[in-house]
Structure 1
Amino acid sequence: MMDKTISKVLLNDGLEVPAIGFGTYQLNGADGVNAIKNAIDIGYRLLDTAFNYENEGAVGEAVRQSSIPREELLICSKLPGRHHAYQEAIQTIQESLYRGGLEYYDLYLIHWPNPRVNLYVEAWQALIEAKKQGLIRSIGVCNFLPEHIDRLIKETDVKPSINQIELYPYFNQEEQRLWHTEQGIVTESWSPLGRGNSVLENKKIVDIAKAYRKSTSQVILRWHIQSGAIPIPKASSQKHQRDNLDIFDFQLTEEEMSVISGLTTETGRTYNQDPRTHEEF
Structure 2
Amino acid sequence: MTESPVLTFNDGNTIPQLGYGVWQVEDNVAEDVVGKAFAAGYRHIDTAQAYQNESGVGRAIASSGVGHEDMFITTKIWNSNQGYEATLSSFEESMQKLGLEKLDLLLIHWLQPKQSKYVDTWKALVELQKQGRVKTIGVSNFTKEAITELIDATGVTPAINQVETHPHFNQADLRAFEKEHGILHESWSPLGQGKELLEDPALQQIAQKHGVTVAQVVIAWHLAVGNVVIPKSVTQSRIVENFAALDVKLQDDDVATISGLDKGAEGRIGPDPAESDFQ
**Take 1:46 and 1:71, find their aligned partners in 2: how far apart are those partners?**
11
**Take 1:116 and 1:65, find their aligned partners in 2: how far apart are those partners?**
41
Which stretch shows the higher mean deviation, 154-163 or 234-243?
234-243
Residue matched to 2:262: 264
Does structure 2 conserve the Cα–Cα contact (< 8 Å) formed by 1:41 and 1:68?
no
* Cα shift readout 1:82-124 (whole Å, capped 9, x = no counterpart): 1211111110111111122221210000001101111100000
Q: For the structure 1 residues 4 and 67, does the alpha-carbon distance in structure 2 shift closer, same or farther, using more than 3 Å as the test?
A: closer
Give the counterpart of 1:169 among 167, 170, 177.
167
Q: In the alignment, does 2:221 pair up with 1:223?
A: yes
**Take 2:203 and 2:4, find their aligned partners in 1: how far apart are those partners?**
23
**1:37-76 alignment to 2 at 5 Å?**
37-76=35-74
Does structure 1 conserve the Cα–Cα contact (< 8 Å) formed by 2:47 and 2:75?
yes
Amino acid at match of 2:194: G
Does structure 1 conserve the Cα–Cα contact (< 8 Å) formed by 2:216 and 2:248?
no
How large is the Cα RMSD of the aligned pairs? 1.3
| TM-fit CA distance, 1:51 | 0.3
Residue matched to 1:145: 143
| TM-fit CA distance, 1:248 | 2.6
Which stretch shows the higher mean deviation, 254-263 or 181-190?
254-263
Does structure 2 conserve the Cα–Cα contact (< 8 Å) formed by 1:189 and 1:229?
yes
Amino acid at match of 2:141: N
**Take 1:229 and 1:248, find their aligned partners in 2: how far apart are those partners?**
13
| TM-fit CA distance, 1:4 | 4.7
Amino acid at match of 2:135: R
* TM-score for the superposition, normalised by structure 1: 0.96
Residue matched to 1:193: 191
* Cα shift readout 1:130-181 (whole Å, capped 9, x = no counterpart): 1122221100000111100000000100001110010001101001111111
Q: In the alignment, does 2:110 pair up with 1:126?
A: no
Percentage of matched positions with identical amino acids: 37
Give the counterpart of 1:104 among 85, 102, 105.
102
Residue matched to 2:111: 113
Does structure 1 conserve the Cα–Cα contact (< 8 Å) formed by 2:27 and 2:52?
no
Gaps of 5+ in 2: none
Gaps of 5+ in 1: none
Residue matched to 2:236: 238
**Take 1:146 and 1:238, find their aligned partners in 2: how far apart are those partners?**
37
Which stretch shows the higher mean deviation, 96-105 or 41-50?
96-105
- Aligned residue for 1:248, secondary structure, equals helix
Q: In the alignment, does 2:92 pair up with 1:82?
A: no
Does structure 2 conserve the Cα–Cα contact (< 8 Å) formed by 1:161 and 1:185?
yes
Does structure 1 conserve the Cα–Cα contact (< 8 Å) formed by 2:222 and 2:228?
yes
Which stretch shows the higher mean deviation, 260-269 or 149-158?
260-269
**Take 1:155 and 1:33, find their aligned partners in 2: how far apart are those partners?**
39
| TM-fit CA distance, 1:250 | 3.2
Does structure 2 conserve the Cα–Cα contact (< 8 Å) formed by 1:87 and 1:126?
yes
- Aligned residue for 1:276, secondary structure, equals helix
**Take 1:203 and 1:212, find their aligned partners in 2: how far apart are those partners?**
14
**Take 1:166 and 1:233, find their aligned partners in 2: how far apart are those partners?**
12
Amino acid at match of 1:278: S
Amino acid at match of 1:140: G
| TM-fit CA distance, 1:251 | 2.0
Give the counterpart of 1:29 among 27, 30, 43.
27
Give the counterpart of 2:9 among 11, 21, 25.
11
| TM-fit CA distance, 1:197 | 4.1
* TM-score for the superposition, normalised by structure 2: 0.96
Give the counterpart of 2:251 among 250, 253, 260.
253
